[in-house]
């Protein structure tokens, strides 16, 4: 693959090359890239805004994450935050800090992943900033979306007797991370160019490298006429996120271990590492599934939605926030969340 | 001054401490910090969005920039982009990447500058992201603002015979940067703790360290019933910005050297460095003044606005984009813009 230095294009040349052919897909995008601001048009909706900062060495490791996957994931995790408000993402801005290690072709790969995620979700790239960096790659993305005023779901709306629901299955992204970390350690101990064997583990790798924001579930909930009372996306593990909802809603909860959805590959990976798979689901990060609560009266309607599982219920606050294990024991939920912050600053 | 390690607070503890007491000042801020997204309400306006990424060592040098000033400036440069669309800024999100070099008190200083800028401009901090960094400080800010649909000013609207206007005076921030860079070089050559003498140069330092977004001019234009045909803020030097307007509007221009507003301290600094002060104004960066065009029929009304100067006029494209010097010579304008990108990647 050829290598073009970014200095041969300059900032504007690079931006032109990355954004060539971008056409707005949303009516709310009045003006995209090319002026001091993007101009958006939201006359009848609430506007949702979220932002994430991703730093090389802290949030991603390019020794095992391909740039295209990184771009895809960086976008999806922001779109997931818009879904978590029961909203539909419409626009993103992308800021990049790029060190000399990266060629134009590298950044094109990264951007290709971002554009692919945007295509999948019908989202427009409307602006950003591109600059040099002294060390590594920095990615900052802001996502903008919309929701009807009475559809917006906050963390604070869960009420006693509400059902606790999750989408998909949990712990898979963390299992994928464990696999990649282990293979990296193995490879660093050898001089041979051994390709790691990922056969039969494609699903957990996919979940780690290319997560999907659950726009499909947001649409299914709307189609079923269900408005969750509280909602979040699961980025730091189910335990930590459920505790956020309980704290902000001033309620307690019962979460049933036996109902937590797990994939076979996640369980197999945990077993191989002599770890408890429930720990992956409770404290592993980056699943980007949705956690939400619905009134008990929605029991049947929510059961009919594909890929949604009821995992517990909301209680009075004085009953605490408890995990009920398979043998019926109640244990207090712990927020041992996976965060990019704690391991770095605490070490 | 005491030093508290960020690890003693953790991410959420730090955010709580930084954002304590923040109360939304704008009706458009339906929900700020504390959920997956901020929720904004813009039923009757266009929504303006802009973002900037600032990296230590590339965009700022903490050996001579106090953290509080850095925070103030980082916010103002984004608000300036909203002004540049003829809009009013309303919200920002703030993402920070923080290395272990920084204490809680350091980040409080930075945030105090950000909050001060927000207070001055009646802007709400509605969200962000806080994470650790392996190297230095990273700041990513997104600003959101509003404008009436028919008030939004793009770069592409300048028409033949329009007057070219600028606010304030130009080159002062670059003069301030030169002063700081020189004093840094002097101090690095000595072991004594000499305080540099900035007496009589406070204005250019202020312009470099604490620029102001020209909200006052946006308000004055609206009060005078003037809608600029094109507008930008001057972040990369007048020359580069005027060429953007000419290119995107498909027009030419005549810019008159004798009308370019300069401050005495800027001129004095240029003379001391044996440089042409007009170069500071044309190619120096970070003034964050506004550059705009108005129809010839607004000549008298625009002259009455405080701190606005007419510096030239728009022509047919075939007449080119020219600087007319004091002796009447016409020279082609050059986009030797000050950018954080070029010097880093080209070196």
Statement to judge: residues A129 and A168 lie in one domain:
no
- Write down the residue that tokens 């920002």 correspond to: B92
Q: A342: buried, middle or exposed (CB in 10 Å: 19+, 13-18, 0-12)? A: middle
Statement to judge: residues A39 and A177 lie in one domain: no
pLDDT given at position A343: 38
Q: Is residue B25 one of the residues assigned to a domain?
A: yes
**Cα–Cα dist B197/A260, whole Å:** 67
**The domain containing residue B50 runs over which residues?**
6-151
Rounded mean pLDDT, B327-343? 72
Phi, psi torsion values for B339, nearest 5 degrees: -130, 150
Q: Is residue A52 part of a domain?
A: yes
CATH code: domain of residue B278: 3.90.650.10
Query: Does residue A130 share a domain with residue A183?
Result: no
Average the pLDDT over B116-142 and give the result: 95
Residues B220 and B289 in one domain: yes
Per-residue pLDDT of chain A (347 residues; tens, 9 = 90+): 689 999 898 888 898 899 998 889 999 999 999 899 999 999 999 999 999 999 999 999 998 899 999 999 999 999 999 999 999 999 999 999 999 999 999 999 999 999 999 999 999 999 999 999 998 999 999 999 999 999 999 999 999 999 999 999 999 999 999 999 888 887 777 656 666 678 889 999 999 999 999 999 999 999 999 999 999 999 999 999 999 999 999 999 999 999 999 999 999 999 999 999 999 999 999 999 999 999 999 999 999 999 999 999 999 999 999 999 999 999 999 887 554 433 333 32
Q: How many other β-carbons are positioned within 10 Å of the β-carbon of residue B101?
A: 12
Q: Is some CB atom of chain A closer than 8 A to the CB atom of B331?
A: no
Q: What is the mean pLDDT of residues B11-40?
A: 90
Asked which of A151, A175, A203 is the last residue of a domain, the reply is: A151
Which tens digit of pLDDT belongs to each residue from A123-145? 999 999 999 999 899 999 999 99
Secondary-structure breakdown of chain A: helix, strand, coil percentages, each rounded to the nearest 5:
40, 25, 35
Query: Is A157 among the domain residues?
Result: no
Chain A hits for B346, CB-CB cut-off 8 Å, are: 7
Q: Which of A152, A156, A339 sits opposite B11 (nearest CB)?
A: A339
Return the number of other C-beta atoms located less than 10 Å from residue B12's C-beta. Answer: 15
ipTM for the predicted complex comes to: 0.91
Nearest C-alpha of chain B: how many angstroms from A269?
A: 29
Residue A86 has what pLDDT?
97
pLDDT of residue B190: 64
First vs last C-alpha separation in chain A: 39
Query: What's the CA gap between B258 and B260, in Å, rounded?
Result: 6
Residues 6+ apart with CB under 8 A from B206: B176
Can you read off the two tokens belonging to residue B15? 């955010």
Question: How much is the pLDDT for B343?
Answer: 38
- The partner residue sitting opposite A341, judged by closest CB among B38, B57, B132, is B132
Specify if B326 maps to a domain: yes
Q: CB distance from B144 to chain A under 8 Å?
A: yes
**Same-domain pairing of B195 and B295:** yes
SS3 string, B214-279, reads CHHHHHHHHHCCCCCCEEEEECCCHHHHHHHHHHHHCCEEEEEHHHCCCCHHHHHHHHHCCCCHHH
Print the SS3 string covering B66-130: CHHHHHHHHHHHHHHHHHCCCCEEEEEEEEEEECCCCCHHHHHHHHHHHHHHHHHHCCEEEEEEE
Report yes or no: B48 and B85 within 8 Å, Cβ to Cβ.
Answer: yes
User: For chain B, what percent of residues have pLDDT higher than 90?
Assistant: 83
pLDDT of residue B347: 28
- The distance from CA A231 to its chain's CA centroid, rounded to whole angstroms, is 14
- The pLDDT score that the predictor gives to residue A197 is 73
- Cβ contacts of B93 on chain A, cutoff 8 Å: 49-51, 142
- Boundary-marking domain end, from B87, B119, B151: B151
Query: Does the pLDDT value for residue B213 go beyond 60?
Result: yes
pLDDT score for A95: 96
pLDDT for B338? 52
Q: Scan residues 75-94 of B and list those with Cβ closer than 8 Å to A.
A: 81-82, 84-85, 87, 91, 93
A1 belongs to a structural domain = no
B245-278 pLDDT, tens digit each? 999 999 999 999 999 999 999 999 999 999 999 9
Q: What is the pTM of this model?
A: 0.92
In a domain, B141, yes or no: yes
pLDDT for the residue A188? 77
Q: What share of chain B is helix, strand, coil (3-state, %, to 5)?
A: 40, 25, 35
Confidence of residue B130 (pLDDT cuts 50, 70, 90): very high
Looking at chain B, the whole-number percentage of residues with pLDDT higher than 70 is 95
Q: Is residue B156 part of a domain?
A: no
Same domain assignment for residues A140 and A180: no
> Both B301 and B186 in a single domain?
yes
Strand stretches in A57-179, DSSP E: 88-98, 124-132, 138-147, 163-167
Place of tokens 């990049």: A96
Q: Is A327 on the interface with B (CB under 8 A)?
A: no
B102/B24 same-domain check: yes
Tell me what the mean pLDDT of segment B287-298 comes to: 98
Residue B191 has a pLDDT of 54
In the prediction, which pLDDT does A347 show? 28
Please indicate, yes or no, whether residues A146 and A168 belong to a single structural domain of this protein: no
Query: Does A258 fall in a domain?
Result: yes
DSSP-assigned letters across all residues of B294-307? E-GGGHHHHHTSTT
pLDDT score at B337: 57
Nearest CA in chain A to B96: A53
Same domain flag for B101 and B30: yes
- Tell me how many domains chain A contains: 2
Higher pLDDT, B187 or B35: B35
> CB of A103 within 8 Å of any CB in chain B?
no
State whether B110 and B249 are in the same domain.
Answer: no
Phi, psi angles (nearest 5°) of residue B322: -125, 145
**From the CA of A326, how many Å to the nearest CA of chain B?**
31
Residue B341: per-residue pLDDT:
39
* Domain containing residue A143: CATH number: 3.30.1330.10
Contact in structure between B332 and B324 (CB atoms under 8 Å): no
Looking at the fold, whether A192 and A258 belong to one and the same domain comes out as yes
Among B53, B214, B336, B340, the residue to mutate for chain A (most A Cβ within 10 A): B53
**Which of A126, A151, A176 is the C-terminal boundary of a domain?**
A151
Residue B230: phi and psi, rounded to 5, are: -150, 150
Segment B318-333 shows an average pLDDT of 96
């Amino acid at each position: 693959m050829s290598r073009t230095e970014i200095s041969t294009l300059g900032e504007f040349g690079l931006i032109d090359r990355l954004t060539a052919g971008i056409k707005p897909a949303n009516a709310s995008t009045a003006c995209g890239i090319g002026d001091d601001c993007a101009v958006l048009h939201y006359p009848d909706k609430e506007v949702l805004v979220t932002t994430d900062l991703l730093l090389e060495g802290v949030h991603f490791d390019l020794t095992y994450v391909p740039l295209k996957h990184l771009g895809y994931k960086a976008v999806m995790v922001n779109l997931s935050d818009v879904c978590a408000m029961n909203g539909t993402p419409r626009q993103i801005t992308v800021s990049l800090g790029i060190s000399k290690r990266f060629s134009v072709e590298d950044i094109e790969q990264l951007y290709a992943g971002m554009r692919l995620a945007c295509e999948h979700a019908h989202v427009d790239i409307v602006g950003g900033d591109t600059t040099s960096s002294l060390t590594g790659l920095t990615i900052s993305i802001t996502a903008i979306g919309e929701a009807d005023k009475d559809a917006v779901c906050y963390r604070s709306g869960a009420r006693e007797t509400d059902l606790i629901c999750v989408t998909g299955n949990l712990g898979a992204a963390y299992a994928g991370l464990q696999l990649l970390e282990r293979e990296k350690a193995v490879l660093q101990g050898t001089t041979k160019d051994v390709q790691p064997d990922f056969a039969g583990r494609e699903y957990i790798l996919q979940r780690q490298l290319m997560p999907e924001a659950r726009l499909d579930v947001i649409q299914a909930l709307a189609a079923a006429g269900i408005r969750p009372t509280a909602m979040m996306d699961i980025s730091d593990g189910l335990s930590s996120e459920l505790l956020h909802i309980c704290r902000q809603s001033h309620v307690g909860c019962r979460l049933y271990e036996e109902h937590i959805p797990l994939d076979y590959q996640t369980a197999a990976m945990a077993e191989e590492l002599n770890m408890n798979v429930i720990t992956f689901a409770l404290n592993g990060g980056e699943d980007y599934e949705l956690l939400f609560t619905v009134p008990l009266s929605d029991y049947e309607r929510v059961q009919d939605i594909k890929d949604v599982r009821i995992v517990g219920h909301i209680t009075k606050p004085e009953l605490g926030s408890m995990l009920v294990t398979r043998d019926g024991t109640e244990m207090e939920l712990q927020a041992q969340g996976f965060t990019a912050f704690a391991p770095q600053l605490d070490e």
